[in-house]
């Protein structure tokens, strides 16, 4: 799956969405003018005998412009309100649907299993672990990913999906949702939800007027014409809302269907197990509740879900392809039979996790982390079967996974990665000054344990801690961020790993607390040539081969003339500014940049852990998954 091209397609779909939305608004404006003209004719005494020409003659150009402006203003205000609300992050969307955040230390076996799966796929995708939400009251098998960017994304799963699906099947469903995060679908989906709410809002106004007119008619028999006119206007606006709803359904269907096929395919890429997503779809076909979701907002946000949230008698308005077609795409040899799985009502009640929860977590951290990017899961292992931790991270793995799930532990792990024996007094003094009870001892312990942690394990450990750090309050985050700076400055210099750590924390957590946003500004590489030269030059200095030769190999990938900056221009501060500018490039440019960086790193026929960590950090900061050639080079260098 080419996520980079899909991001570009998603951006083009945004233009298509804008065009369809504009046409829908124009239709609603015309219909509103026609209905109001009829309503004025009716209330003016012509009654049912008023024809359309006479009614329209009552509206002059000025009145038409005023009505049109009012309609567009109302629609625009509703769209803006919902866009601002949804842009607060995936958390706001999922909570509006009744989702509940899964506690980092949950003792529910199914929730713990789902958390482990989310962590594993995050490591495979080289992105921070998104918070997991559960929709407790939903028996149907469904899931969704919501957010504007990978930094504020969340994954939500219904209780029915957690309980009814095996580990492989749930992994396939969650992998499907991760593709929506990486290929740019989420931003498009949020815009779609906000725009369509504006289209259907006119119908809500009509419903209010109908109820109001009905109450007035009951209370008083006088001024019948005024009351009748109010009812006619309400009915007209309600009917316009229904037409708007039909157009909204058509737009959702046109935008969403093809994306579901692509997400199913990318789920196979993440899990390397086509039976996972394939069997999940077959279970849905044989499961009585199917993918139904009963929460009030489900229909409005139906295009965000894994499966159809309501029954559709007319597939023209379906937001998802037919189940049979989706199955055949991932399993061409399917015999047409679904998997019959009866609802397990007892399992819908949360149960405590046993020792398998910790064993599964150890397995995830000890297999996914050394691979640094790739998942190697035993598809035959079920979540209820204890799995031995790999010897590469013996006892430390279990404690790391537990500490990463608690705010205090996550802070200690991140600070522990910056621990230096020769500056520990300065660092501990900074912790003591921060006055966070219990943190001082944890930081000292983590610092000593993580000093010799392999470079390729450091970045995944940071990504593992980020969702827990999102649960901090704003004052706590400011204190923690200042602690990071104090730890980095303790030895009087900043190295590239310290830059990576701080930039990752800032990039993924700042939007949670200070509402920062990154927008694509640069459509050509020539616009960021200086930043590209600094990024390639900094990486070229880390290799064993000649710096100029390595730098030039990257410039050839970019197919543009670049000059290697002087050594004094390749400091960490300049490098940080360069990467900040690369964040604003368009998606297809970002993949070219990462390929150029990989070419520089492998110029000496091997990609060191330090080089790979730096490239992965840049990829994470610019919100771009690593291309396949980077993954292959990383594997060959092992």
Bridge partners (DSSP) listed for residue 156: 133, 144
Element counts in the chain: helices (H) and strands (E): 25, 4
pLDDT: is 458 or 43 the higher one? 458
Residue 300, Ramachandran bin (φ over 0: left; ψ between -120 and 50: alpha; else beta): alpha
User: The whole model's pTM is what?
Assistant: 0.69
Element (H, E) at 101: strand 100-101
Task: Provide the pLDDT for residue 162.
Answer: 93
Lowest mean pLDDT among 108-122, 185-199, 540-554: 185-199
Task: Provide the pLDDT for residue 171.
Answer: 93
pLDDT tens string 595-607: 899 888 887 777 7
Nearest to 76 by CA among 25, 140, 136, 8: 25
Using 50, 70 and 90 to split pLDDT, how confident is the model at 382?
A: very low
Using 50, 70 and 90 to split pLDDT, how confident is the model at 362?
A: very low
Task: Provide the pLDDT for residue 54.
Answer: 58
- C-alpha dihedral sign at 182, 184, 186, 187: positive
**Contact between residue 316 and residue 250 where contact means Cβ atoms under 8 Å apart:** yes
> How many CA atoms lie within 13 Å of 223's alpha carbon, on the beta-carbon side?
11
Task: Provide the pLDDT for residue 156.
Answer: 94
The full 3-state SS of 113-158, as one line of letters, equals HHHHHHHHHHHHHCCCCCCEEEECCCCCCCEEEECCCHHHCEEEEE
Q: Which residues contact 516 (CB under 8 A, 6 or more apart)?
A: 510
Task: Provide the pLDDT for residue 393.
Answer: 42
Task: Provide the pLDDT for residue 142.
Answer: 94
pLDDT of 81 above 80: yes
Q: What is the DSSP letter of 585?
A: B
Task: Provide the pLDDT for residue 354.
Answer: 42
In whole angstroms, what separates CA 188 from the centre of its chain? 11
CA distances from 620 to 128, 392, 448, 465 (A): 8, 25, 27, 14
Task: Provide the pLDDT for residue 230.
Answer: 66
Report the b/e string of 343-375 with b at 16+ CB within 10 A.
eeeeebebeebeebbbbbbbbbbbbbbbbbbeb
Question: What value does the mean pLDDT take over residues 49-61?
Answer: 58
Task: Provide the pLDDT for residue 356.
Answer: 42
Question: What value does the mean pLDDT take over residues 197-224?
Answer: 66
Lowest mean pLDDT among 236-245, 363-372, 533-542: 363-372
pLDDT of 123 above 50: yes
pLDDT tens string 11-29: 566 666 677 778 888 888 8
pLDDT of 622 above 90: no
**Contact between residue 193 and residue 140 where contact means Cβ atoms under 8 Å apart:** no
pLDDT of 561 above 70: yes
Give the β-pairing of 154-158 and 132-135. Answer: parallel
Distance, in Å, from the CA atom of 457 to the CA atom of 465, rounded to the nearest integer, reads 13
Lowest mean pLDDT among 215-224, 301-310, 358-367, 595-604: 358-367
- Token pair belonging to 481: 């961020």
In whole angstroms, what separates CA 294 from the centre of its chain? 23
Using 50, 70 and 90 to split pLDDT, how confident is the model at 529?
A: very high
pLDDT of 391 above 50: no
Using 50, 70 and 90 to split pLDDT, how confident is the model at 10?
A: low
pLDDT: is 94 or 185 the higher one? 94
Lowest mean pLDDT among 355-369, 391-405, 419-433: 355-369
Task: Provide the pLDDT for residue 531.
Answer: 93
pLDDT of 3 above 50: no
Using 50, 70 and 90 to split pLDDT, how confident is the model at 48?
A: very low
Annotated catalytic residues are 177
Nearest to 518 by CA among 149, 185, 128: 149
Distance, in Å, from the CA atom of 33 to the CA atom of 12, rounded to the nearest integer, reads 32
pLDDT of 97 above 60: yes
pLDDT of 255 above 90: no
pLDDT tens string 131-161: 899 999 898 999 998 887 777 788 999 999 9
pLDDT tens string 451-462: 877 777 787 788
**Contact between residue 586 and residue 617 where contact means Cβ atoms under 8 Å apart:** no
Using 50, 70 and 90 to split pLDDT, how confident is the model at 57?
A: low
Question: What value does the mean pLDDT take over residues 18-42?
Answer: 75
pLDDT tens string 470-484: 888 888 999 999 999
Question: What value does the mean pLDDT take over residues 515-521?
Answer: 65
Question: What value does the mean pLDDT take over residues 354-359?
Answer: 44
Question: What value does the mean pLDDT take over residues 408-427?
Answer: 89
Question: What value does the mean pLDDT take over residues 58-67?
Answer: 74
Distance, in Å, from the CA atom of 551 to the CA atom of 528, rounded to the nearest integer, reads 16
Distance, first Cα to last Cα, the chain: 25
Strand order in the sheet with 143-146: 100-101, 132-135, 154-158, 143-146
Lowest mean pLDDT among 36-45, 250-259, 481-490, 510-519: 36-45
Nearest to 260 by CA among 150, 176, 157, 155: 176
pLDDT of 378 above 60: no
In the chain, the percentage of residues whose pLDDT exceeds 70 is 75
Distance, in Å, from the CA atom of 181 to the CA atom of 266, rounded to the nearest integer, reads 11
Task: Provide the pLDDT for residue 216.
Answer: 56
Distance, in Å, from the CA atom of 131 to the CA atom of 160, rounded to the nearest integer, reads 19
Lowest mean pLDDT among 143-147, 216-220, 364-368, 522-526: 364-368
Nearest to 104 by CA among 139, 78, 130: 130
Distance, in Å, from the CA atom of 12 to the CA atom of 22, rounded to the nearest integer, reads 16
Task: Provide the pLDDT for residue 23.
Answer: 83
Alpha helix locations (H) across 220-354? Answer: 224-271, 274-286, 323-330
Distance, in Å, from the CA atom of 184 to the CA atom of 182, rounded to the nearest integer, reads 6
pLDDT of 39 above 60: yes
- C-alpha dihedral sign at 106, 410, 509, 455: negative
Domains, the chain, ordered by start? 3-89+188-256 (no CATH), 525-636 (1.10.3680)
162 three-state secondary structure: helix
Using 50, 70 and 90 to split pLDDT, how confident is the model at 387?
A: very low
Question: What value does the mean pLDDT take over residues 400-426?
Answer: 86
**Contact between residue 234 and residue 209 where contact means Cβ atoms under 8 Å apart:** yes
Give the β-pairing of 100-101 and 143-146. Answer: unpaired
Using 50, 70 and 90 to split pLDDT, how confident is the model at 344?
A: low
């Amino acid at each position: 799956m080419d996520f980079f091209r899909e991001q570009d397609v998603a951006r083009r779909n945004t233009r298509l969405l804008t065009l369809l939305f504009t046409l829908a608004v124009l239709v609603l404006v015309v219909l509103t003018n026609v209905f109001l003209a009829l309503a004025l004719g009716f209330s003016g005494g012509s009654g049912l005998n008023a024809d359309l020409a006479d009614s329209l003659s009552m509206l002059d150009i000025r009145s038409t412009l005023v009505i049109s402006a009012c309609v567009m203003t109302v629609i625009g205000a509703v769209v803006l309100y919902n866009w601002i609300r949804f842009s607060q992050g995936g958390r706001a969307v999922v909570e509006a649907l009744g989702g509940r955040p899964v506690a980092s230390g949950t003792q529910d076996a199914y929730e713990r299993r789902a958390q482990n799966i989310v962590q594993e796929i995050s490591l495979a995708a080289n992105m921070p672990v998104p918070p997991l939400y559960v929709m407790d009251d939903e028996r149907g098998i469904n899931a969704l990913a919501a957010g504007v960017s990978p930094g504020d994304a969340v994954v939500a799963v219904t209780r029915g999906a957690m309980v009814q699906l095996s580990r492989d099947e749930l992994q396939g469903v969650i992998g499907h949702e991760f593709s929506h995060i990486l290929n740019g679908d989420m931003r498009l989906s949020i815009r779609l939800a906000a725009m369509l709410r504006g289209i259907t809002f006119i119908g809500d106004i009509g419903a209010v007027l109908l109820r109001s007119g009905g109450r007035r008619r009951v209370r008083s028999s006088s001024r019948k014409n005024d009351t009748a006119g109010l009812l006619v206007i309400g009915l007209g606006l309600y009917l316009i809302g229904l037409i708007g709803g039909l157009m909204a359904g058509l737009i959702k269907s046109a935008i969403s269907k093809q994306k579901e096929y692509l997400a199913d395919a990318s789920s196979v890429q993440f899990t390397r197990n086509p039976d996972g997503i394939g069997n999940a779809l077959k279970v849905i076909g044989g499961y009585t509740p199917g993918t139904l979701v009963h929460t009030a907002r489900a229909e409005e946000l139906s295009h965000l879900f894994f499966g159809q949230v309501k029954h559709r008698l007319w597939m023209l308005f379906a937001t998802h392809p037919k189940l049979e077609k989706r199955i055949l795409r991932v399993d061409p040899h399917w015999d047409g039979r679904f998997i019959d799985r009866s609802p397990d009502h007892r399992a819908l009640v949360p149960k405590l996790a046993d020792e398998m929860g910790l064993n599964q977590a150890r397995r995830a951290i000890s297999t996914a982390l050394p691979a640094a990017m790739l998942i190697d899961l035993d598809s035959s292992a079920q979540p209820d079967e204890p799995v031995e931790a790999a010897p590469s991270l013996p006892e430390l793995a279990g404690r790391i996974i537990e500490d990463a799930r608690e705010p205090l532990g996550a802070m200690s792990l991140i600070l522990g990665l910056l621990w230096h024996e020769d500056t520990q007094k300065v660092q501990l003094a900074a912790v003591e000054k921060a006055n966070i009870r219990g943190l001082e001892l944890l930081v000292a312990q983590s610092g000593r344990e993580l000093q010799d942690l392999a470079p390729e394990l450091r970045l995944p450990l940071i990504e593992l801690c980020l969702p827990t750090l999102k649960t901090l309050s704003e004052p706590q985050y400011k204190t923690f961020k200042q602690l990071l700076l104090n730890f980095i400055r303790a030895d009087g210099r900043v190295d590239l790993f310290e830059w990576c750590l701080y930039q990752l924390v800032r990039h993924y957590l700042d939007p949670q607390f200070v509402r920062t946003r990154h927008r694509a500004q640069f459509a050509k590489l020539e616009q960021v040539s200086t930043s590209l030269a600094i990024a390639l030059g900094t990486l070229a200095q880390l290799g064993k081969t000649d710096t100029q030769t390595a730098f030039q190999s990257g410039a050839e990938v970019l197919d543009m003339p670049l000059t290697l900056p002087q050594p004094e221009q390749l400091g960490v501060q300049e490098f940080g500014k360069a990467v900040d500018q690369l964040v604003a490039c368009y998606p297809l440019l970002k993949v070219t940049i990462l390929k150029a960086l990989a070419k520089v790193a492998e110029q000496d026929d091997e990609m060191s852990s330090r080089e790979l960590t730096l490239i992965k950090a840049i990829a994470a900061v610019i919100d771009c998954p690593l291309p396949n050639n980077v993954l292959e080079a990383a594997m060959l260098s092992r």
